[in-house]
């Protein structure tokens, strides 16, 4: 678990330490507007954000091998990864700093891809996926959270998806 303090908001990332020498990965960022559910007291200030990521599914798709005019390399396969974020936001109620509420949220599902070669360590990539030897591990790198108004939060999550071969 990693902890940072940004804009007087304590951020707790439910992640392991970052990998050494990652080979097959992607770094991504999502921004979202979070709206307080009806019936919840308005937000005075955000105290802390605890966030974790969950891989929902992954599938391997074959692509052409080559390099685009822009220099993008397509090595033969893409691992399509679907991920969602679960978080707990602790906040004080507007007008009453001593009253603390907790907002449990689950994001929509996002889809990302990681380029993989046709073979990894001499084994066909399709065979590795068929044998469930390819695992994607999410790492939260940063969370920016800003209160827009008492019922709306702007949030930006930067994360790293690392592919490991078991």
pLDDT at 42: 92
Round to whole Å and give the CA distance between 101 and 91. Answer: 5
Name the one residue in this structure whose structure tokens are 């920016």.
144
Spatial contact of 116 and 65, defined as CB atoms under 8 Å apart? no
Q: Show me where the domains of the chain are located.
A: 24-165
Question: Mean pLDDT of successive 10-residue segments in the chain (166 residues)?
Answer: 60 71 95 93 91 95 90 90 95 79 94 95 95 95 92 94 95
Please answer whether residues 140 and 54 qualify as being in contact, where contact means their C-beta atoms are separated by less than 8 angstroms. no
How many helical (H) and strand (E) elements, i.e. helices and strands, does the chain have?
1, 11
- Residue 73's pLDDT is 82
How buried is 37 (Cβ within 10 angstroms: 0-12 exposed, 13-18 middle, 19+ buried)? exposed
In this prediction, residue 146 carries a pLDDT of 93
Q: Comparing C-alpha atoms, which of 25, 149, 42, 164 is closest to residue 103? A: 42
Q: Tell me if 83 sits within 8 A of 112, measured CB to CB.
A: yes
Residue 150's pLDDT is what? 94
Q: Please return the burial class of 89, using the count of CB atoms within 10 Å of its CB with bins 0-12, 13-18 and 19+.
A: buried
> How far apart (Å, rounded) are the C-alpha atoms in residues 139 and 6?
18
DSSP code of residue 95: T
């Amino acid at each position: 678990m990693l902890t940072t303090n940004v804009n007087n908001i304590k951020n707790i990332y439910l992640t392991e330490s970052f990998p050494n020498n990652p080979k097959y990965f992607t770094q991504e960022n999502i921004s979202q507007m979070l709206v307080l559910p009806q019936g919840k007291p308005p937000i005075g200030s955000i105290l802390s954000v605890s966030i974790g990521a969950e891989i929902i599914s992954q599938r391997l798709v074959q692509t052409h091998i080559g390099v685009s005019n822009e220099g993008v390399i397509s090595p033969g396969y893409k691992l399509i990864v679907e991920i969602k974020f679960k978080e707990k936001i602790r906040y004080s109620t507007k007008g009453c700093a001593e009253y603390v509420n907790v907002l449990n949220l689950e994001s929509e599902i996002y889809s990302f891809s990681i380029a993989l070669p046709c073979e990894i360590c001499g084994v066909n990539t399709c065979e590795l996926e068929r044998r469930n030897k390819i695992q994607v591990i999410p790492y939260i790198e940063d969370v920016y959270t800003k209160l827009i108004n008492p019922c709306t939060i702007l949030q930006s999550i930067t994360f790293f998806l690392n592919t490991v071969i078991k």
